Chains A and B, each alone.
Chain A
Amino acid sequence: MRFLYLLLIFLFAFAFACGKQPLPTETLVIGIESAPTSFDPRQATDAVSSRMNGLIYNGLVRLNEKGEIVPDLARSWEILDSRTYRFYLRRGVFFHDGTPLTSGDVRFTFESILDPATSSPHRSTFEKIDRIETPDPLTVTFVMKEPFAPFLVGLTLGIVPEQRTSQSQKALAQAPVGTGPFVLSHREEGDTYSLSANPEYFGSPPKLRKIVFRVIPDNTVRFLEMRKGTVHLLLNGIELDYLPLVRQDPDLRLVSGPGVNYSYIGFNLNDPILKNRTVREAIALAIDRKSIIRYLLKETAHKATGLLSPLNWAYNGRVKTYAYNPAQSRALLDEAGFPDPDGRGPRMRFTLTFKTSQDELRKRITAALQQQLKEVGIGIRIRSYEWGTFYGDIKSGNFQLYTLSWVGVTEPDIYYYIFHSSNIPPHGANRGHYRNPEIDALLEAGRRETDPAKRKEIYGTVQAILAEDLPYVNLWYYDNVAVFSKNLHGFVLDPSGDLFSLKDAWMEK
């Protein structure tokens, strides 16, 4: 018994030692699914890190809610010729450590990304840079090796200060120094990350005193924290089954809006069955996207016509679409030489393996797709793997069908990466081995062309050809869904899912 008492005393002492103070009301608490991986924008790629870094750092430019490029640290820029971009920096911008922003910092940021020693995942975005010139402290000129239009979007990447990072690259990931409206003030690794307002911010100073990001991995618990009022904002972090409960709760607000995350079914075009375009069209016609969006996605998605969403400046809506039509699908399969052996009976025309991750919603969607394809006589073996294995298989081309999403689709040059024949793995994302010389030529022209109108035309054609060729079945664009406390004001849902609007948001006491 004495042992028990000792244990009790020890536990209480230990628990008190770990105790925390209650949060003041000017604090906004955001629930996140996983911890950010890096506070160095040159290293981070995951959504959580990008959202937090978006509040700590500024890029030369940023994307507005329409996906257009607008000034950020650069007050203006000019394109001197198709290979030369000149940026004029804002005056009076200071990093969190008090040093002023200069063109040297900009040059340093991109040169360090290009330095192989940094092993930055963003290096390929900037590899067309030939040199960076800094004629004066507030002017920076990028000279490209060849015309490369997607370059501008890449400049949304956060600018880091030169002095600090030359001392130690690791220091920045640990104690980030940016120019943004918030400063990372406290962190409990893997648990909570607090950002405090930066009163010296060059724009209007933030109204919130503090933003706390809390890692809550469990979907249900994240929602329960929200209901209890201990978390004030969830962005795309809510289980869709809980949406009816959110609507009933007078203390919560629900906002959803179109997003730029695109979901699709990928085909392996080396597969003897799937290389037949008629079969792919039959599969596209057999899928009832409307029902899935309604019953499984709770109306938080919109049917997709291609990678680029209607929000994108280069979007082309006049492409071939495939409305649900099982009868036509069956006819096409017969025509393609795959008759149904026993009519509507249990035997299938052929059976395909469909790979997916272990995400619950994904698995349910795949099961629905399986059912729909069964209706037209296509058997589906579902294989759901833990993420590392699934992704490994997809990358190595070890699949027949799979379903995945492309997130944050803003720059149409993404088509080059996914469908250009030079990007067939191991060196790209053309995982289905799609080859079309016409597409190759258009995509090469698209990245060289700097005139937006001409680019729009090029990518419009690309979208039309791909809708015809069907290397992917377009499923849907996911909406961004935000649930927040009724006390939070001024939060604006951004299509890319960034949190920059929090700079002007406030909490009612």
Chain B
Amino acid sequence: MFNYIIKRLILLIPVVFGVVTLVFFLVHLIPGDPVEVMLGEQARAADKEMLRHELRLDRPLMEQYRLYLTGLARGDLGRSIHFREPVLTMITRRFPATILLTLAAMFVAILIAIPIGIVSATKQYSLIDNASMFFALLGISMPNFWLGPLLILLFSIQLGWLPVSGMGGVEHLILPSITLGTALAAILTRMTRAGILEVIRQQYIVTARAKGLAEKKVLYKHALKNALIPVITILGLQFGALLSGSIITETIFSWPGIGRLVIQAVNQRDYPLVQGCVLFIALTYVLVNLTTDLLYSAADPRIRIGRGGQA
């Protein structure tokens, strides 16, 4: 297991390198000039040149790339062109808010999806099943930018229970996490339901029932554990979707996370900031996937990774 983790961590290096390279050239390829955006057009050509020189934007692209990589190797993500602050400081200030929101959304999704999935599966084709599948469909189809304001209208304006936007106590977290987590909840509900339906027809479940075990025990002890394996995989993969979805949710709910920072950075052509943010998001995504893989093998002892067993 330890060797496996080390191996996976080493594999991170080419992934990160790939992400850095791709993002670096992509942001430099899009039209627009950060110096123009920053100094405004009234600035004199000489001043623009000077700033360009200061920001090293006057050097050949390959040299900029080399300088960026050298900085990165030292843990230096550069300075934001627009805010004139170290990118790392800006990201670390904002990143916890994004992680909090993403985890909360995931938590909401699990909290909704697994019980509903179980009930749906055990009462297949019942009214509850049909209703929950309908809501699952609705949940997948509803875009964040629509669901968010709708929830605000109901819970903040009409009922007055929750704050509209911003970051503060737990009450501030509820609406954004539901908004962000709904689509995931819908997917997970369907996955849990399908997983249980599949497992419940397996012979070992028949055996468990034949042994005279209570239905609850059969369900929770024998069926659920196996049914959840694909759910865990999906959770890991969906974490990335949540991270990118948080960009919209953060904008709606004025949540001071990294998503809003990315949008602002792209608009201002703040190259180092865009690169830094994307790098952080990519790293998180890769690390979460690694964790999922590890959880996956822990949840299913049949899987023996790195020992020539089935994967």
Q: Is the CB of A119 within 8 A of B36?
A: no
User: In the bound complex, what is the Cα–Cα distance between A470 and B139 (angstroms)?
Assistant: 53
User: In the bound complex, what is the Cα–Cα distance between A428 and B90 (angstroms)?
Assistant: 33
B residues near A225, Cβ cutoff 8 Å: 164-165
Q: Does A508 contact B (CB under 8 A)?
A: no
0/1 per residue, B83-94, Cβ < 8 Å to A? 110000010011
A125, A227, A228 pick with most chain B CB within 10 angstroms: A228
Q: Does A15 contact B (CB under 8 A)?
A: yes
Q: Is the CB of A18 within 8 A of B47?
A: no
Q: Is the CB of B100 within 8 A of A14?
A: yes
Q: Is the CB of A228 within 8 A of B164?
A: yes
B residues near A386, Cβ cutoff 8 Å: 266-267
**Contact of A124 (CB < 8 Å), options: B42, B82, B156, B173:** B42
Q: Is the CB of A417 within 8 A of B267?
A: no
Q: Is the CB of A4 within 8 A of B165?
A: no
**Minimal beta-carbon separation of B110 from chain A (angstroms):** 6
**Contact of B44 (CB < 8 Å), options: A4, A127, A214:** A127
Q: Does A509 contact B (CB under 8 A)?
A: no
Q: Which B residue's beta carbon lies closest to that of A192?
A: B166
Interface on chain B toward A: helix, strand, loop, or mixed SS? helix
B residues near A228, Cβ cutoff 8 Å: 156-157, 160, 163-164
**Contact of A15 (CB < 8 Å), options: B100, B110, B156:** B100
User: In the bound complex, what is the Cα–Cα distance between A116 and B47 (angstroms)?
Assistant: 7
Chain A residues close to B by CB (< 8 Å): 4, 7-8, 10-12, 14-16, 18-20, 34-35, 37, 45, 116, 119-121, 123-125, 127, 170, 173, 188-192, 214-218, 220-221, 224-225, 227-228, 230, 386-389, 391-393, 395, 417, 426-429
Q: Is the CB of B31 within 8 A of A12?
A: no
**Complex A-B, nearest 9 residue pairs according to Cβ-Cβ distance, in ascending order:** A388-B32, A191-B256, A19-B169, A15-B170, A392-B32, A121-B39, A216-B254, A20-B168, A225-B164
A15, A387, A393 pick with most chain B CB within 10 angstroms: A15
Q: Is the CB of B31 within 8 A of A393?
A: yes
B residues near A15, Cβ cutoff 8 Å: 100, 104, 169-170, 172-173
Q: Which B residue's beta carbon lies closest to that of A428?
A: B41
User: In the bound complex, what is the Cα–Cα distance between A121 and B172 (angstroms)?
Assistant: 39
B residues near A123, Cβ cutoff 8 Å: 43-44, 47
A residues near B153, Cβ cutoff 8 Å: 224
**Contact of A18 (CB < 8 Å), options: B39, B168, B252:** B168
Q: Which B residue's beta carbon lies closest to that of A431?
A: B41
**Minimal beta-carbon separation of A447 from chain B (angstroms):** 15
Q: Is the CB of A119 within 8 A of B47?
A: yes
User: In the bound complex, what is the Cα–Cα distance between A405 and B163 (angstroms)?
Assistant: 35
**Contact of A221 (CB < 8 Å), options: B43, B97, B165, B260:** B165
Q: Is the CB of B254 within 8 A of A388?
A: no
Q: Is the CB of B163 within 8 A of A37?
A: no
Q: How many A-B residue pairs have CB under 8 A?
A: 152
Q: Does B46 contact A (CB under 8 A)?
A: yes
User: In the bound complex, what is the Cα–Cα distance between A124 and B153 (angstroms)?
Assistant: 48
Q: Is the CB of B252 within 8 A of A190?
A: no
Q: Is the CB of B267 within 8 A of A388?
A: yes
Known: A16-B169, A124-B42. A389 touches B31 (CB 8 A): yes
Q: Does B269 contact A (CB under 8 A)?
A: yes
Q: Is the CB of A190 within 8 A of B261?
A: yes
B residues near A119, Cβ cutoff 8 Å: 39, 47, 50-51, 54
Q: Does B107 contact A (CB under 8 A)?
A: yes
Q: Is the CB of B165 within 8 A of A116?
A: no
Q: Does B111 contact A (CB under 8 A)?
A: yes
Q: Is the CB of B268 within 8 A of A388?
A: yes
Q: Does B45 contact A (CB under 8 A)?
A: yes
A residues near B100, Cβ cutoff 8 Å: 11, 14-15, 18
0/1 per residue, B49-86, Cβ < 8 Å to A? 01100100000000000000000000000000011100
B residues near A7, Cβ cutoff 8 Å: 103, 107
**Minimal beta-carbon separation of B35 from chain A (angstroms):** 9
Q: Does B187 contact A (CB under 8 A)?
A: no
User: In the bound complex, what is the Cα–Cα distance between A127 and B148 (angstroms)?
Assistant: 50
Q: Is the CB of B166 within 8 A of A214?
A: yes
Q: Does B282 contact A (CB under 8 A)?
A: no
A residues near B54, Cβ cutoff 8 Å: 119
Q: Is the CB of B166 within 8 A of A224?
A: no
Q: Does B33 contact A (CB under 8 A)?
A: yes
Q: Is the CB of B84 within 8 A of A217?
A: no
A residues near B44, Cβ cutoff 8 Å: 123-124, 127, 427
User: In the bound complex, what is the Cα–Cα distance between A218 and B43 (angstroms)?
Assistant: 31
Q: Which B residue's beta carbon lies closest to that of A31?
A: B254
Q: Is the CB of A217 within 8 A of B36?
A: no
Q: Which B residue's beta carbon lies closest to that of A170?
A: B84
User: In the bound complex, what is the Cα–Cα distance between A127 and B45 (angstroms)?
Assistant: 13
**Minimal beta-carbon separation of B231 from chain A (angstroms):** 13
Could you name 16 residue pairs across A and B whose Cβ atoms are closer than 8 Å?
A: A15-B170, A45-B39, A121-B38, A121-B43, A123-B44, A124-B42, A190-B264, A216-B254, A217-B251, A217-B254, A218-B165, A218-B253, A224-B164, A230-B163, A386-B266, A428-B41
